[in-house]
Amino acid sequence: MRSTKKRKRDRRKAAEYERVVRDDHRQIHHEICSKWKVGLPDLLVIHTDGGYSFAEVKGPWDHTVNREPEVKMRNEIWERLRVPTEVVMVRLLP
């Protein structure tokens, strides 16, 4: 069962996404993610000028960075909306 904290955080994230991203862009995001059967990238990056981009975080053992549906989703978001998705590779230090 989901915790109350997680539900509140998810509602807050959804509200921020709806505040920043235009309705037509949200509809296109939904179409793209449904088409490729993937979720949106991990992070919504809000720019000071009111724009946005995405970031996808990958760890050292994450082999999904080049998975075809994820690559096609990132490319299609760029092609249709001109919204970039940066892939951030994280390295864990001892």
As given in the structure block, the two tokens for residue 9 are: 């955080």
Residues 6 or more apart from 42 whose CB is under 8 A from it? Answer: 54, 55, 56, 57
Pairing outcome for strands 52-58 and 85-89: parallel
All structural domains of the chain with their residue ranges? 4-89
Assess contact for 16 and 26: CB atoms under 8 A.
Answer: no
Question: Tens-of-pLDDT digits for all 94 residues of the chain?
Answer: 457 777 877 888 899 999 999 999 999 999 999 999 999 999 999 999 999 999 999 988 888 778 999 999 999 999 999 999 999 999 888 8
pLDDT of residue 68: 94
- DSSP-derived 3-state class of residue 23: helix
Give CA–CA dist 49/66, Å, rounded.
31
DSSP 8-class letter at 20: H
